[in-house]
């Protein structure tokens, strides 16, 4: 659960602390009646089910419905239902059916009042909100679903996950209790209830309910709950792999890297038999990159990890460097025998890459949740509601927790707008309305209704009060906010900063200049001042909602500790050992140094001076023309290493309680300054800033789009590759990036 964001990631280092264990897919256990009914409906001879459906529709056309308001008070519940059959629909296979969560709240079938599914629109509503739907649509017939918790003994031991997956066999099991489901037909406004299943119910109602219960919920379709690593493919290099007969015979044990003293994480190149260490991890652990460097020198494509080879060759860890992924080698036995390896006698001594990834994810997630073993006090009540992980959704959860900690968004979607008002303003399908879903999310996070301890089972299988909360699952909000974005609508990991900017853009568009727009609270003005060698200046202004800052590592305050750590690390490497995680020392850079770096003068190459009528080197400084209610800082952690390889800095930013940014104010043209003259029309073509092709080429070689690279070079005044790459990483979600770079 994320009840409060912690620094990590690009958006002020936001990190999600939601449990990845709340996504177990549930199998819907249906009464025997339902499966029999489905069989009769779909498999009877001569299209009997279709004919039955047509007869029902024909009878409805011939018999006009009786308005419920004019109905006799003595009418039986069954008569009441029959008189409203025209308001009941049998869903088609393509119909979106909501049956797991209320459209305007986070009530579920597990909630005290259960869930009411409108049997005409197939939208779901909690007990508190179903009257609103009846008043708005007049639809009176609902399927009521109520789930009641089973008391199940926990004598069985928990199985360790063996698959990088959630909610499937071999994957993570979140330990959710099982529930029994009860169904009934409810007719509004009097909440007249009829039991289900029942042979006395009209056939149309039975068919409609069966279809609802057997259909996959729209929530499930839009939110895949199982996370599984991709299945390995057969390498295209395996069949025709050329092996060099150089006399190498690999012993069954006692391996060591040919270029250093590493004895773990070793890879055997299947072309020449070289044994080399694997890649270095971000935290300094792992190998020394000798295996991948050998591939770059020779082009030999396949390697197998020693220690993962057993009689079951399918479990061996084979990596293809040109394909840059783990692969299958159907000829692995033959390739191993070439170097004298009898795989049938080998034992597994190391984890595969997938197993190590699973192990690190398991330990990392729980360490973060438990704050490295520290005792943390659980918080409940208004403003302390967690967001459950939907599967790689930490970027969204962390961002929305921060957004709804601001007064502007709380006022717009919680204090000044009720759920009922948002529902009345919403279209027929409130699940696709951004205003409705933001209001729903705000009330879910801030009301405290869902921030309550849930019962947990103890060792005696008795229910006792625990300190855990289920939180809420923002599935409908994610579907709406990501509908127009191919990346955020996927289940892949995303960047919190990119999502934050996409979210603000959607909110701003929805308000279309309205003063109620809460995204305005993040906007501020930036002014660039360029001083030409002629002594004249030019000013340009723009609006932004983030302040992007470089990290000056040379301003680190713990340089002595860093030097000692680097010496220790070098010693460990020479001994073939790894630095333990508790020995790692990271640079600590004050935030004030990052802010000062933003305002510091920088050179601009190839600047055209209209005073000198030639290109020259100018000096640029930046400042703020206005200050937002909330200042969002983006720390540029990606830098360029030798060979123009992007690297993410492993660094701490020390943030004080009070930040003084008054020195960053820009006041425009100052007394005594003279503006550069306007460029004459006949000079415009020759003076237009052109992207530096060296910068563009280096960015393109990293995989960026050519036109995007041109725009990045122009927008950063050809300052350099690092500046252009930082601009690209910051503006990849901007709609304007897809326009021509010179527009």
Which ranges of 324-418 does DSSP label H, i.e. alpha helix? 332-337, 353-369, 394-403, 407-410
Last residue of some domain: 655, 671, 688?
Answer: 688
401/469 same-domain check: yes
With contact defined as beta carbons under 8 Å apart, do 289 and 297 qualify?
no
Mean pLDDT in the chain?
Answer: 79
119/11 same-domain check: no
The reported pLDDT for the residue numbered 310 is 86
* 102 occurs within a structural domain: yes
Paired tokens of 720: 């350099």
Measured distance CA(654)–CA(633) in Å, rounded: 13
CB atoms within 10 A of CB 390: 23
DSSP structure class, residue 388:
-
CA distances from 568 to 229, 371, 405 (A): 36, 27, 43
* 561 occurs within a structural domain: no
466/430 same-domain check: yes
Question: Which of 37-41, 109-113, 134-138 comes out lowest in average pLDDT?
Answer: 37-41
74 pLDDT band, cuts 50/70/90, is low
What percentage of the chain carries pLDDT values higher than 90? 45
Q: Residue 130 maps to which CATH number? A: 3.30.40.10
Report CA Rg, the chain.
32
209/103 same-domain check: yes
- Candidates 579, 557, 568, 455; CA nearest to 176 is 455
* 479 occurs within a structural domain: yes
Question: Which of 79-93, 209-223, 418-432, 676-690 comes out lowest in average pLDDT?
Answer: 676-690
* 376 occurs within a structural domain: no
* 493 occurs within a structural domain: yes
Residues 6+ apart with CB under 8 A from 93: 215
451/529 same-domain check: no
Query: Exposed, middle or buried by CB within 10 Å (0-12, 13-18, 19+), for 157?
Result: exposed
Say which residue the tokens 């990890």 belong to.
Answer: 305
The reported pLDDT for the residue numbered 466 is 47
The reported pLDDT for the residue numbered 209 is 94
The reported pLDDT for the residue numbered 371 is 53
The full DSSP string for 113-164 is T-EEEETTT--EEETTTHHHHHHHH---EEEEEEEEE------SPPPPP-SS
Name which residue leads in pLDDT, 21 or 575.
575
Question: Which of 195-199, 226-230, 282-286 comes out lowest in average pLDDT?
Answer: 226-230
What does pTM read for this prediction?
A: 0.65
* 379 occurs within a structural domain: no
For range 132-143, the mean pLDDT: 96
The reported pLDDT for the residue numbered 706 is 80
87/207 same-domain check: yes
Query: Which residues line the annotated binding site?
Result: 257, 260, 277, 290
The residue range of the domain holding 673 is 524-550+592-688
Q: Residue 398 maps to which CATH number? A: 3.90.70.10
* 12 occurs within a structural domain: yes
665/535 same-domain check: yes
Last residue of some domain: 519, 535, 570?
Answer: 519
447/480 same-domain check: yes
Residue 227 has pLDDT above 60, yes or no: no
CA distances from 516 to 519, 524, 604 (A): 9, 17, 40
Number of domains in the chain: 4
The reported pLDDT for the residue numbered 494 is 80
Query: Which residues line the annotated binding site for Zn(2+)?
Result: 257, 260, 277, 290
The reported pLDDT for the residue numbered 645 is 66
Question: Which of 187-196, 277-286, 559-568, 717-726 comes out lowest in average pLDDT?
Answer: 277-286
Paired tokens of 492: 């892949």
Residue 679 has pLDDT above 80, yes or no: no
The reported pLDDT for the residue numbered 18 is 33
For range 639-652, the mean pLDDT: 74
The reported pLDDT for the residue numbered 68 is 44
Residue 742 has pLDDT above 60, yes or no: no
For the segment 442-462, what is each residue's pLDDT rounded down to a tens digit?
999 999 999 888 765 544 334
Measured distance CA(628)–CA(606) in Å, rounded: 33
The reported pLDDT for the residue numbered 733 is 57
Say which residue the tokens 């006949």 belong to.
Answer: 682
216/143 same-domain check: yes
For the segment 600-618, what is each residue's pLDDT rounded down to a tens digit?
998 888 888 888 888 889 9
The reported pLDDT for the residue numbered 561 is 92
* 348 occurs within a structural domain: yes
The reported pLDDT for the residue numbered 743 is 39
Paired tokens of 31: 């009464």
95/212 same-domain check: yes
The reported pLDDT for the residue numbered 427 is 95
The reported pLDDT for the residue numbered 737 is 53
The reported pLDDT for the residue numbered 224 is 38
The reported pLDDT for the residue numbered 471 is 86
Measured distance CA(651)–CA(589) in Å, rounded: 8
- Candidates 729, 546, 655; CA nearest to 11 is 546
In degrees and rounded to multiples of 5, residue 529 shows phi and psi of: -115, 125
Name which residue leads in pLDDT, 216 or 167.
216
The reported pLDDT for the residue numbered 353 is 72
152 pLDDT band, cuts 50/70/90, is low
Question: Which of 201-215, 349-363, 412-426, 694-708 comes out lowest in average pLDDT?
Answer: 349-363
For the segment 120-132, what is each residue's pLDDT rounded down to a tens digit?
999 999 999 999 9
Name which residue leads in pLDDT, 603 or 48.
603
Last residue of some domain: 308, 326, 352?
Answer: 352
248/335 same-domain check: yes
501/534 same-domain check: no
For range 591-603, the mean pLDDT: 92
């Amino acid at each position: 659960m994320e009840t409060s964001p912690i620094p990590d990631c690009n958006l002020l280092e936001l990190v999600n602390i939601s449990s990845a264990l709340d996504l177990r897919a549930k199998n819907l256990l249906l009464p025997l009646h339902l499966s029999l009914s489905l069989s009769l409906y779909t498999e009877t001879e001569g299209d009997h089910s279709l004919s039955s459906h047509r007869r029902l529709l024909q009878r409805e056309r011939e018999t006009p419905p009786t308005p419920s308001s004019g109905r006799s008070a003595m009418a039986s519940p069954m008569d009441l239902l029959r008189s409203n059959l025209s308001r009941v629909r049998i869903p088609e296979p393509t119909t979106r059916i909501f049956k797991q969560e209320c459209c305007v709240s986070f009530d579920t079938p597990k909630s005290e009042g259960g869930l009411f599914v409108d049997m005409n629109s197939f939208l779901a509503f909690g007990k508190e909100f179903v009257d609103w739907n009846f008043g708005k649509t007049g639809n009176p017939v609902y399927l009521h679903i109520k789930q009641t918790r089973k008391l199940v003994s926990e004598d069985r031991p928990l199985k360790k996950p063996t698959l990088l997956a959630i909610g499937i066999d071999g994957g993570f099991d979140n330990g959710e209790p099982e529930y029994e489901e009860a169904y009934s037909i409810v007719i509004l406004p009097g909440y007249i209830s009829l039991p289900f299943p029942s042979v006395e119910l009209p056939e149309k109602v039975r068919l409609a309910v069966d279809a609802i219960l057997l259909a996959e919920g729209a929530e499930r379709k839009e939110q895949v709950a199982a996370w599984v690593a991709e299945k390995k493919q057969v390498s295209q290099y395996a069949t025709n792999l050329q092996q060099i007969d150089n006399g190498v015979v690999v012993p069954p044990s006692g391996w060591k890297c040919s270029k250093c003293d590493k004895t773990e994480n070793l890879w055997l190149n299947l072309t020449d038999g070289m044994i080399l260490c694997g890649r270095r991890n971000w935290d300094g652990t792992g190998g020394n990159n000798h295996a991948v460097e050998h591939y770059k020198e020779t082009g030999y494509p396949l390697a197998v990890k020693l220690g993962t080879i057993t009689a079951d060759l399918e479990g061996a860890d084979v990596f293809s460097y040109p394909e840059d992924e783990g692969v299958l080698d159907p000829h692995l036995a033959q390739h191993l025998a070439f170097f004298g390896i009898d795989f049938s006698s080998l034992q597994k001594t190391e984890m595969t890459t997938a197993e190590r990834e699973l192990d690190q994810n398991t330990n990392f997630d729980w360490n973060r949740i438990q704050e490295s073993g520290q005792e943390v006090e659980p918080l409940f009540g208004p403003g302390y509601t967690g967001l459950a992980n939907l599967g790689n959704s930490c970027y969204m959860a962390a961002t929305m927790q921060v957004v709804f900690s601001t007064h502007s968004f709380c006022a717009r979607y919680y204090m000044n707008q009720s759920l009922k008002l948002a529902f009345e303003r919403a279209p027929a399908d409130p699940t696709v309305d951004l205003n409705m879903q933001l209001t729903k999310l705000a009330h879910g996070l801030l009301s405290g209704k869902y921030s309550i301890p849930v019962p947990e089972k103890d060792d005696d299988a008795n229910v006792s009060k625990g300190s855990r909360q289920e939180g809420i699952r923002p599935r409908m909000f994610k579907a709406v906010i990501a509908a127009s974005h191919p990346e955020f609508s996927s289940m892949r990991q995303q960047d919190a900063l990119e999502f934050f900017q996409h979210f603000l853009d959607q909110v701003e568009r929805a308000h279309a200049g309205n003063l109620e727009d809460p995204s305005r609270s993040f906007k501020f003005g930036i002014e660039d001042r360029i001083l030409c060698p002629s002594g004249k200046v030019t000013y340009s202004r723009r609006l932004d909602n983030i302040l992007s800052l470089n990290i000056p590592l040379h301003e680190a305050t713990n340089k002595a500790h860093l030097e000692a750590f680097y010496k220790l690390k070098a010693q460990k490497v020479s001994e073939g050992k790894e630095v333990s995680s508790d020995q790692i020392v990271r640079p600590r850079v004050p935030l004030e140094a990052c802010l000062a770096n933003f305002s510091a003068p920088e050179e601009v190459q190839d600047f055209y001076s209209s005073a000198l009528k030639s290109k020259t080197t100018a000096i640029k400084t930046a400042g703020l023309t206005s200050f937002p209610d909330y200042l969002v800082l983006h720390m540029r952690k990606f830098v360029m290493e030798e060979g123009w390889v992007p690297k993410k800095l492993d660094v701490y930013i020390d943030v004080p309680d009070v930040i003084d940014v008054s020195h960053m104010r820009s006041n425009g043209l100052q007394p005594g300054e003279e503006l550069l003259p306007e460029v004459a029309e006949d000079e415009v073509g020759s003076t237009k800033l052109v992207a530096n092709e060296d910068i563009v080429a280096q960015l393109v070689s990293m995989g960026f789009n050519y036109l995007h690279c041109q725009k990045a070079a122009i927008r950063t005044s050809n300052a350099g590759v690092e500046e252009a790459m930082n601009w690209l990483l910051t503006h990849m979600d901007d709609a304007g990036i897809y326009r021509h770079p010179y527009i």
